[in-house]
Amino acid sequence: MALMTSEQYVESLRKMKRNIYFQGRKLDNPVDHPLLRPSMNCLIETYDMAHMPEYEDLMTATSQFTGHKINRFNNIHKSVEDLNKKVKLQRLMGQRTGSCFQRCVIMDCANAFYSTTYEIDQAHGTSYFERFKKFIIRVQDEDLIVAGALTDPKGDRSCAIGEGQDPDLYLHVVERRPDGVVVTGAKAHLTGITNAHEVVVLPTQALKPGQEDYCIAFSVPLDAPGITMIVGRQSCDTRKLEAGADIDLGNARYGGVEALTIFDHVFVPNENIYLNGEVEFAGMLVERFAGYHRNSYGGCKSGVGDVAIGAASLIAQYNGTERASHVKDKLIEMTQLNEQLYCAGIASSAEGWQTKAGNYMVDLLLANVCKLNVTRYPYEIVRLMEDIAGGIMVTAPSEADLRSEEVGHYVEKFMVGNHVNAENRLRALRLCENLALGTAAVGYRTESMHGAGSPQAQKIMISRQGNFAQKKQYAKRIAGIHGEGSQ
């Protein structure tokens, strides 16, 4: 089986005994919990769309290992065309869900692991590549959702890893056995982990000799003993728990989810370990994963941006301001900014290159430029959307007031707009609110800043990849600077 149905996916999660907490309580039935369902619906969509002929080209790929048709989110990129389709798929999914749809992390992790394990084996005579290949073939064939875990909690950032504070603030090996290792620590803001079957874990940053116990990469099922997920608080999240919640959610169907995930003495068998102490390769693994994920943001954030532009256009129409020249101008500016994000995503794919292992890697300079733009433009897009929507976006009455026998008629009467009833105008306003300030803001706004690394991380990569020496040569040649005294 290489493509599951969404029903099979839901049932497969139902069978797992996972430790998921929200607001201090363990969730007995996370699969049907109203807080988590919208985020799971995004994953359900990735299964359903893979079976729809109109999306087959983007949603599926052919495995180079088995020849089977697989979900593209589990693909190892075989060409530049695959890298382009990755970004197009992400834009499509952003447009469909208006949120973070969570499944990209394994695609980006798997491709980074694939090329890096190959190079580790060449340098060290290890057998990580074949192990990882076996893992990804199983993920493809069973059509699994795999989360990725990168960011350690870190505590006091001024302390070196493992020094001056609780060593568990960075996930590390606490016991070595003949059949595997035992790890302890935690990983923060893990996208989609409550909807995943397994997780791939990698170090948080480049490492150096002496930090071997922190240099561990592996995969484990999410019902492995010792794993606990604590769901992150999102703005307005408990609206989902209100009886019959619909309009006030803005996006009742979809959402993202992140969780702080604890690894308390988790056993990892040898066959699931893909990096173990080869400190000089930790940086390559992290850099490649981050590169792929920064390229991804050119797709997913422009897709959600399309929803934001759509919501702004719609509310302008409902408010009767659509024809005002300043509103048109704002919509054009939103579109320009959004397409710039997409341009950099596609460009970093189009300039992709083949790794020693044979899969394709994105252009790191362009991927980092893409993500650095993402740390700014969605904020501006949201600012313009809020400008167009008006203050009513945050002061409008609730759905309960609209349905109230006592005051409902007032809401109906005073919330109307341009040829639109109060209910539909409220729906458009709540969608704007959700994107700007509600649960989707996690995936659209703050994630644009910090997801796939904070802006400073991109600036470091841009300064490394920017090739200033070469650019000086261009300038010198044109300015006629050469010979003695031109250094």
Residues marked as catalytic: 100, 104, 191, 258, 293, 297, 300, 447
Closest residue to Fe ion using C-beta atoms: 451
Looking at residues 444 to 473 of the shown chain, list those that interact with ligand SF4 (rule: CB under 6 A).
447, 451
| Cβ contact 267:180 at 8 Å | yes
Could you list the beta-strand ranges (E) of 250-361.
Answer: 258-269, 273-276, 353-354, 360-361
Between 30 and 192, CB nearer to ligand SF4: 192
As given in the structure block, the two tokens for residue 268 are: 């990892």
CB of 117 to ligand SF4, least distance (A): 22
Which part of the chain contacts Fe ion (CB under 5 A), choosing from 112-120, 269-277, 390-398, 444-452?
A: 444-452
Between 191 and 194, CB nearer to ligand SF4: 191
Residue 457 binding: pick among ligand SF4, Fe ion, none (C-beta 5-8 Å cut-off by kind): none
Residue 46 binding: pick among Fe ion, ligand SF4, none (C-beta 5-8 Å cut-off by kind): none
Q: 214, 451, 458, 461: which one contacts Fe ion (CB under 5 A)?
A: 451
Residue 255 lies near Fe ion (rule: CB under 5 A): no
If DSSP codes are grouped into helix, strand and coil, which group holds residue 244? coil
Q: How many CA atoms lie within 13 A of 179 on its CB side?
A: 2
Which part of the chain contacts ligand SF4 (CB under 6 A), choosing from 96-104, 235-243, 318-326, 454-462?
A: 96-104
Residue 104 binding: pick among ligand SF4, Fe ion, none (C-beta 5-8 Å cut-off by kind): ligand SF4
If DSSP codes are grouped into helix, strand and coil, which group holds residue 426? helix
CB of 4 to Fe ion, least distance (A): 23
- Four-residue CA torsion sign, 296, 336, 255, 4: negative
Residue 104 lies near ligand SF4 (rule: CB under 6 A): yes
CB of 256 to Fe ion, least distance (A): 8
Residue 296 binding: pick among Fe ion, ligand SF4, none (C-beta 5-8 Å cut-off by kind): ligand SF4
CB of 71 to ligand SF4, least distance (A): 14
Looking at residues 134 to 193 of the shown chain, list those that interact with ligand SF4 (rule: CB under 6 A).
191
Looking at residues 111 to 170 of the shown chain, list those that interact with Fe ion (rule: CB under 5 A).
none
Closest CA to 168 of 260, 259, 263, 232: 263
Which part of the chain contacts Fe ion (CB under 5 A), choosing from 79-87, 332-340, 343-351, 448-456?
A: 448-456
Which part of the chain contacts ligand SF4 (CB under 6 A), choosing from 13-21, 167-175, 295-303, 411-419?
A: 295-303
Using CA atoms, how far residue 350 sits from 69, 79, 311, 322, 339, in Å, is 24, 10, 30, 37, 16
CB of 480 to ligand SF4, least distance (A): 47
The helix (H) or strand (E) run that includes residue 13 is: helix 6-14
Between 304 and 357, CB nearer to Fe ion: 304
Residue 102 lies near ligand SF4 (rule: CB under 6 A): yes
Residue 105 binding: pick among ligand SF4, Fe ion, none (C-beta 5-8 Å cut-off by kind): ligand SF4
| Cβ contact 294:368 at 8 Å | yes
| Cβ contact 262:230 at 8 Å | yes
CB of 288 to ligand SF4, least distance (A): 15
Q: Which residues have a Cβ under 8 Å from the Cβ of 95 and sit 6 or more positions away?
A: 303, 304, 306, 307
Which part of the chain contacts ligand SF4 (CB under 6 A), choosing from 99-107, 270-278, 331-339, 464-472?
A: 99-107
Q: 126, 261, 272, 296: which one contacts ligand SF4 (CB under 6 A)?
A: 296
Which part of the chain contacts Fe ion (CB under 5 A), choosing from 7-15, 76-84, 385-393, 443-451?
A: 443-451
Using CA atoms, how far residue 469 sits from 175, 418, 459, 460, 463, in Å, is 46, 58, 17, 16, 11
If DSSP codes are grouped into helix, strand and coil, which group holds residue 1? coil
Judge residue 68's burial from the number of C-beta atoms within 10 Å of its C-beta, 0-12 exposed, 13-18 middle, 19 or more buried: middle
Using alpha carbons only, give the angle 30, 32, 34 rounded to the nearest 5 degrees: 90
Q: How far apart are CA 78 and CA 71, in angstroms?
A: 14
Residue 453 lies near Fe ion (rule: CB under 5 A): no
Using CA atoms, how far residue 318 sits from 315, 395, 462, in Å, is 5, 17, 43
Q: Which residues have a Cβ under 8 Å from the Cβ of 140 and sit 6 or more positions away?
A: 2, 63, 65, 66, 68, 70, 71, 74, 75
Residue 207 binding: pick among Fe ion, ligand SF4, none (C-beta 5-8 Å cut-off by kind): none
Residue 368 lies near ligand SF4 (rule: CB under 6 A): no
Q: 4, 35, 83, 100: which one contacts ligand SF4 (CB under 6 A)?
A: 100
Residue 422 binding: pick among ligand SF4, Fe ion, none (C-beta 5-8 Å cut-off by kind): none
Q: How far apart are CA 202 and CA 438, in angstroms?
A: 30
Q: 101, 114, 318, 444: which one contacts ligand SF4 (CB under 6 A)?
A: 101
Between 239 and 371, CB nearer to ligand SF4: 371
Q: How far apart are CA 155 and CA 85, in angstroms?
A: 38
Phi/psi at 177 (nearest 5 deg)?
-125, 165
Judge residue 163's burial from the number of C-beta atoms within 10 Å of its C-beta, 0-12 exposed, 13-18 middle, 19 or more buried: exposed
The contact set with ligand SF4 (CB under 6 A) reads 90, 100-102, 104-105, 191, 296-297, 300, 447, 451
The contact set with Fe ion (CB under 5 A) reads 451
